[in-house]
Amino acid sequence: FRTLVNQGDEFRYLVPTQAVNNQWKNVGFDDSAWTNGSSGFGYGDGDDNTALPSGVSSVFLRKTFTLTDAAAIEALIVDMDYDDGFVAYVNGQEIARANISGLSPAFNASTLTDHEAQMYSGGLPDRFTINNIDGLLQDGQNVFCVQAHNISNGSSDFTIIPFLSAVYNVPSNDGISPPAILA
């Protein structure tokens, strides 16, 4: 498999203070008013390339990636280190979620329970394999989006470190070889 989105990659991000236009998950969305930052995002655990203000409830992330042969991809893999919950999307379609309910959770929704990030203490991110990808990807530009949520604005920490990888049925030069933590 090949990693398309990696820790340390630059994302466009928004710490919302009100509802976000539901089109934010789509390829053509104008995110020019959003901020640039390197993954991971958060505060409190020392694993943050982009430090967010203490007490944020959520952060919305967007990362475009280019595919040369989308038809050669047979599955996607989302590896996610998170504290406390998230919903992940590709090209506007939900592909993975953990520890949060609601079809499109509100910007200020809290998670169901606490969930501690793992990588900062030597652990591995949680893995989600998406096998049904018919019609999801396209040649050219695609977008990977993550809506990450904290259990409360009084929480001592918050982390989101997303990875997106593709399983190809032929050799590909898209993306990079997976980092050691995903191997």
pTM strictly above 0.85: yes
The residue-averaged pLDDT of 16-42 equals 97
Token duo for residue 32: 């020019």
Q: Could you tell me which of 46, 42, 25 has the C-alpha nearest to residue 82?
A: 42
Residue 170 in this model has a pLDDT that exceeds 90: yes
Look at strands 41-43 and 50-51 and give their pairing: parallel
Q: Using alpha carbons only, what angle is made at residue 147 by residues 82 and 40, rounded to the nearest 5 degrees? A: 45
The residue-averaged pLDDT of 38-42 equals 98
Q: What share of the chain in percent tops pLDDT 90?
A: 98
Q: Could you tell me which of 70, 75, 52, 50 has the C-alpha nearest to residue 142?
A: 70
